[in-house]
Amino acid sequence: MIVMSIAGVDPSGGAGVFADLKTFQAIGVYGTGIVTALTAQNPYKFFSTLPIDENYIAEQIDAVLDSYEVEFIKTGMLYSPEIIKLVSKKIKEYDLKAVVDPVMVATSGGDLTRENIAKAFNRHLLSQSILTTPNISEAEKLTNIKINSKEDAVKASEMIKCNNIITGGHLDGINTINIDGEISIVKQELIETENLHGTGCNLSAAITAFLAKNNDLNTSILKALDYVYEGIKNGNYGTLIARI
Ligand code: PXL
């Protein structure tokens, strides 16, 4: 079972490709990592971003898929509409099943995208993905509605263009899951902690790993929610106050 993360590098290791690889390893699948951008940051402060040339991102993907059989991938920081389009093209070319974490802004406040790229996610990537995992603020950007309640989250969930889980760290722990139009709500207890940097990356990576281990989508989401919850409880993450 070989999976792939296409995402940015957080050199402090809590988020991005490095974090994804740790999660893949922890769940017992072999992870490969395609780098879309380097960042200079720690859990408290975002310094800068250095995007990788699109042709070189394409070359990395081709190089790995030239010799590895990959079915499931996850995407994280994609930075620009051009990179989103490239990833969409590669999903089709290699018939990949993609879990898309529609990353837009770093938990520490830094911009992980060149501009507002919600439109590009909607137009080019979500319709080709098997799942997207927005948090409340990302779901608001994807749908252009404000989410202040469970009902709002359900409405947003129905507007998003593919199966989705809207994570509830900013909505009293109410996770809204929509698989094939069937909505289910999974409420998790919120944990008082300073260790949440990278939890969104870890959730989408864990779902991808559980899918690769032959779990169905719903089971993979539930197992991944547990995995991240345990990680938060045990303080496995960085040290920024934030919520998925
Ligand atoms: O959690 C979003 C995220 C994704 N990718 C990278 C990040 C972050 C948050 O800091 O740095 C590279």
Question: Best of 6, 9, 10, 202 to mutate for ligand 1, by most ligand atoms within 8 A of CB?
Answer: 10
Ligand 1, atom 9, residue with closest C-alpha: 106
**Residues β-bridged to residue 6:** 34, 75
Q: Percent of the chain, pLDDT > 70?
A: 93
The 10 Å Cβ neighbour count of residue 63 is: 12
CA of 133 from ligand 1 middle (Å) equals 14
CA of 46 from ligand 1 middle (Å) equals 10
Instruction: Please work out whether the CB of residue 10 comes within 6 Å of at least one atom of ligand 1.
Output: yes
In the chain, the domains with their CATH numbers are: 2-234 (3.40.1190.20)
- Counting from 1 in the atom list of ligand 1, the atom nearest the Cα of 77 is 5
Count of residues in the chain: 244
Instruction: Please work out whether the CB of residue 199 comes within 6 Å of at least one atom of ligand 1.
Output: no
Task: Tell me the residue type at 196.
Answer: L
Alpha helices in 33-80 (DSSP H): 54-67
Q: Are 10 and 18 in contact (CB under 8 A)?
A: yes
CA of 198 from ligand 1 middle (Å) equals 6
The tens-digit pLDDT sequence of the chain (244 residues) is: 999 999 999 999 999 999 999 999 999 999 999 999 999 999 888 999 999 999 999 999 999 999 999 999 999 999 999 999 999 999 999 999 999 999 987 666 667 787 779 999 999 999 999 999 999 999 999 999 999 999 999 999 999 999 999 999 999 999 999 999 999 999 998 988 777 788 899 999 999 999 999 999 999 999 999 999 988 888 765 433 334 4
101: three-class secondary structure by DSSP: coil
Complete DSSP assignment for 68-91? --EEEEEE---BSHHHHHHHHHHH
